[in-house]
Amino acid sequence: MAEKVLVGMSGGVDSTVTALLLQEQCYEVTGVYMKLHDNEAYHRENFAKAKRVGEYLGIEVQFLDISGEFRQEVYDYFVREYQAGRTPNPCVVCNRQIKFGRMVAFADSLGIDKIATGHYLRCDGRYVYMAADRNKDQSYFLAQVRREVLPRLIFPLGERHKEEVKAIAARIPVLADIATQKESSEICFVENDYTEVLARHMEIDREGEVLNDAGEVVGTHRGYMHYTVGKRRGFTVHGAHDPHYVLSLDPAQNRIVVGTRDRLEERRFEIGRINLFEDLESFECQVKVRYRTRAIPARVRIEGERGEVELAEPVYGLARGQFAVFYDGERLLGGGEIR
């Protein structure tokens, strides 16, 4: 009897080819379209695409409305973190709570053991590894996924490059329009800029003071929510000759603190919300402090629910709320939230 697998299907290229490849590998495939946010027109269009794919492949595609859970666990977290002056990563949280949390529970309700998505990464059941296509690698975003879920995950695109995946989709007539569609945005509920989301919940355009690191008022800004650590533009600094960058935010006073680039340098920081794929207390690794940054050699020490990361070379613009993600070469070890 063929092994069953539940495939997260968005109506796009990657999830479509994932379902096709698994079917060719003789899995019994069931698709699920997950309604996450409240853009009804978006869901009508993309669920229709997913159903069309299902009809072509001869598989059932179910509709799972988890917008309430998504709002509480991902969207509200996103807004709350920016309100507090931190820089959240909703995709990391979504993968833990929703895509490899709620989706796993849905698979259980259907009696299906394996779960697959169109993520670009590899998994051997114990660890996650970087994708063969380094430009598309998404292993960073799985650093918070629960360890016990890994044996159930399949990622058919991990060994393939994006152009190869698009070519597979383009050869199938019913999928031709999907193969040429625009890539989806990194954060599904942000259409243009994150501040557009925040503006629905609070006043974001409220002029405030710019301080230097000595606490002196040196200029003005548009409102603290327009800024993240490391940002260089969008505020005034009177009498400055060198470029200035945001060093920190003070949400309570609607202030930002700025300084020259050297003031952004960090070599050591604390982490919380720690998730590891093996039991580790003190270890050397390579760490990425944001998705698109270079991995840097580091030593990590874990004590209970908190840890410390000591970098072999400095980073600039370290942001509270982002995730430090640990690698041993291509192998993902886990990660923690930067505190």
| pLDDT at position 178 | 62
Nearest of 207, 92, 73 to residue 138 by alpha carbon: 92
- pLDDT at position 185 over 70: no
- Concatenate the DSSP letters of all residues of 78-113 into one string: HHHHHHTT----HHHHHIIIIIIIIHHHHHHHTT--
Distances (CA, A) of 173 to 95, 168, 170, 233: 32, 11, 7, 47
Q: Please, what are the domains in the chain?
A: 4-179 (3.40.50.620), 203-259 (2.30.30.280), 266-338 (2.40.30.10)
Mean pLDDT of the chain: 93
Distances (CA, A) of 240 to 96, 218, 287, 310: 44, 9, 34, 32
> Which has the higher per-residue pLDDT, 129 or 42?
129
pLDDT band at 239 (very low <50, low <70, confident <90, very high): confident
Average pLDDT of the residues in 59-68: 96
* Start-to-end CA span in the chain (Å): 49
Separation between Cα atoms, residue 162 and residue 236, nearest integer Å: 42
- pLDDT at position 3 over 90: yes
123 as an active site residue: the answer is no
Separation between Cα atoms, residue 54 and residue 48, nearest integer Å: 10
State percent of the chain over pLDDT 70: 96
| pLDDT at position 189 | 80
Q: Residue with structure tokens 């939230």?
A: 337
Which residues pair with residue 6 across a beta bridge?
30, 115
Separation between Cα atoms, residue 325 and residue 226, nearest integer Å: 26
Q: Does the predicted TM-score (pTM) go above 0.75?
A: yes
Average pLDDT of the residues in 28-57: 92
pLDDT band at 193 (very low <50, low <70, confident <90, very high): confident
- pLDDT at position 180 over 60: no
Burial of 86-125, coded b for 16+ CB within 10 Å and e otherwise, reads bbbbbbbbbbbbbbbbbbbebbeeeebebbbbbbbbbbee
**pLDDT tens for residues 272-298?**
999 999 999 999 999 999 998 999 999
260 backbone dihedrals φ, ψ, rounded to 5°:
-75, 165
| Token duo for residue 224 | 């603290």
Separation between Cα atoms, residue 30 and residue 7, nearest integer Å: 6
| pLDDT at position 42 | 86
Distances (CA, A) of 155 to 6, 144, 248, 296, 329: 12, 17, 38, 26, 19
Tell me which amino acid residue 325 is: V
- pLDDT at position 233 over 80: yes
Separation between Cα atoms, residue 14 and residue 153, nearest integer Å: 16
> Which has the higher per-residue pLDDT, 174 or 47?
47
Active-site residue identified among 91, 94, 123, 285: 94
- pLDDT at position 259 over 60: yes
Active-site residue identified among 26, 91, 123, 188: 188
Stated as kind and residue range, the H or E segment containing 21 is helix 13-24
> Environment class of residue 145 by beta-carbon count within 10 Å: exposed (0-12), middle (13-18) or buried (19+)?
buried
285 as an active site residue: the answer is no
| pLDDT at position 263 | 95
Sequence-ordered list of residues with C-beta below 8 angstroms from that of 268, at least 6 positions apart, any chain: 308, 309, 310, 311
Separation between Cα atoms, residue 307 and residue 189, nearest integer Å: 31
> Environment class of residue 172 by beta-carbon count within 10 Å: exposed (0-12), middle (13-18) or buried (19+)?
middle
Structural contact between residues 132 and 159, judged by C-beta atoms closer than 8 angstroms: yes
Average pLDDT of the residues in 213-228: 95
